[in-house]
Structure 1
């Protein structure tokens, strides 16, 4: 399918539950022939994505709130207007540092969307992480994402 014009209004987009945040699809892979995707991510204090890697690059741009992004051994404390690029295969993690954070996540394949959709379809909200960890790990692995250690419990 060729790329197409896609206009996403404020407040529009498919919302996907991603275990500790909500990802709103602003530009899906179906609009770009799988070449890239754009998500608006909302997370609350305490949200933490365990160290992981995947075979695609991505970038984050903070809209409001504060978050910490660690890429390899370097940690970046980020606020509104700041961005970071995570190279293909780099081990990285994200942690919300304020009451809430909203940021854009730009992915250069359809991998992130497939992972988010799989999590949304198969992980029930409200279950304790100690119950969810094996399922989340399985979903990540079938979507070409590898946790470095197990998801935080």
Structure 2
């Protein structure tokens, strides 16, 4: 692991806009020898990630607002101060629920999310037009998207 301290000040860090969701990297995979990464995600109401799974774990800490999660088909509503851990290969989804954008700190280990998010930021601009691109990027990074909720009858977050 890297032995170089990392300090990311307010307003610093790589900032990505992923379909209206702002993602700021507080500590990237490159800074931890791919051991883990840490992101601050701002979720406007109804923005977020559809049901998916991947071979790394993710932890979510809600800093502000409310976020709806779907974890292994079970809906969960988390508010500021709440925490959720989704182990590797757990199907999960999330979306902002509050009128004011929610803020969430996301920790992934081992670090894999950064490469996926950077590619999506560069190549996916509008859904459903760019769905094929999203699925291809996901496949390259080990992200498996689930069929839409209405196709499988599962509740949305």
TM-score normalized with structure 2 length: 0.88
Cα shift at 1:110: 2.2
Partner residue, 2:68: 68
Would the aligned equivalents of 1:58 and 1:106 in 2 still touch at CA under 8 Å?
A: yes
Partner residue, 2:80: 80
In the aligned structure 2, how far is the partner of 1:151 from the partner of 1:135?
20
Where do 1:1-153 residues align within 5 Å? 2-99=2-99, 100-124=101-125, 127=126, 129-149=127-147
TM-score normalized with structure 1 length: 0.91
Q: Could you say what the CA RMSD is over the residues aligned between the two structures, in angstroms?
A: 1.7
- Say how many residue pairs are matched: 149
Would the aligned equivalents of 1:61 and 1:84 in 2 still touch at CA under 8 Å?
A: yes
Superposed CA offset, 1:87-137 (max 9, x none) = 11000010111121111000002211111111112123xx3x120211111
In the aligned structure 2, how far is the partner of 1:29 from the partner of 1:88?
17
Cα shift at 1:48: 3.3
Cα shift at 1:151: 9.6
In the aligned structure 1, how far is the partner of 2:121 from the partner of 2:104?
19
Superposed CA offset, 1:26-48 (max 9, x none) = 00011111000000001111213
Gaps of 5+ in 2: 151-157
